[in-house]
A and B are shown apart, each in its own frame.
Chain A
Amino acid sequence: MVQNLISKIEELKDVKPRPEWVVLTKAKILGPEYISSENHSPHLWGIFGWRSITAMSVSMAVLLGVFIGAQNALPGDPLYSLKRMAEKGQSAFVSASEKPKANIELASKRLEELGQIAKNNQSRRLAPAISEFQTNVASLTKDLTAMSSTSSDMTAVKGIVQAAKQLEENKRRVEAMGIVVGGTDEFDNAILKLVEREISAMTVNDLTENQQKTLEQAREDLKAGDYSSALEKILLMMP
Chain B
Amino acid sequence: MSDSSRKQFANIYDRYIDKIYRFIFLKVGSQEIAEDLCSETFLRGWEAYEMKNEKLKMKNDNLKSKIENPGAFLYAVAHNLVVDYYRKKGREPIVMAEFASEEIIDPSQDIAETALLNADVDAVRQVLQDLPDDYQNVIIWRHIDGLDFAEIAELMGRTEEAVRVLLHRALKVLRSKLASC
Binding site for B on A (CB under 8 A): 1-2, 4-6, 8-18, 21-22, 25-26, 28-31, 34, 37-40, 75-76, 80-81, 84, 124, 127-128, 131-132, 134-135, 138-139, 183, 186
Shortest Cβ gap from A30 to chain B (Å)? 5
Cβ 8 A contact of B33, one of A1, A9, A135: A135
Shortest Cβ gap from B84 to chain A (Å)? 12
Interface-central residue, A21, A22, A29, by most chain B CB under 10 Å:
A29
Cβ 8 A contact of A9, one of B14, B46, B124: B124
Cβ 8 A contact of B32, one of A1, A2, A31, A84: A84
Given contacts A30-B46, A38-B14, A128-B29, contact A25 B116 (CB under 8 A): no
**Cβ of B88 < 8 Å from any Cβ of A?**
yes
| B124 A75 Cβ-Cβ under 8 A | no
**Cβ of B143 < 8 Å from any Cβ of A?**
yes
Residue of B nearest to A28 (CB): B39
Q: In the complex, what residues of B have CB within 8 A of residue A1's CB?
A: 109, 112-113, 116, 175
**Cβ of B76 < 8 Å from any Cβ of A?**
no
> How many Å lie between the Cα of A183 and that of B86 in the bound state?
12
Q: In the complex, what residues of A have CB within 8 A of residue B42's CB?
A: 25, 29
> How many Å lie between the Cα of A15 and that of B31 in the bound state?
10
Q: In the complex, what residues of B have CB within 8 A of residue A5's CB?
A: 116, 171, 174-175, 178
12 contacts between A and B (CB under 8 A): A1-B109, A5-B174, A8-B124, A11-B121, A12-B26, A12-B125, A13-B144, A17-B18, A80-B31, A128-B29, A128-B32, A135-B89
Residue of A nearest to B143 (CB): A9
Stretch at the interface among B5-13, B52-60, B149-157: B5-13
Q: What are the interface flags for B9-23 relative to A under an 8 Å C-beta threshold, 1 for contact and 0 otherwise?
A: 110011001100110
Given contacts A10-B143, A12-B128, A81-B35, contact A4 B117 (CB under 8 A): yes
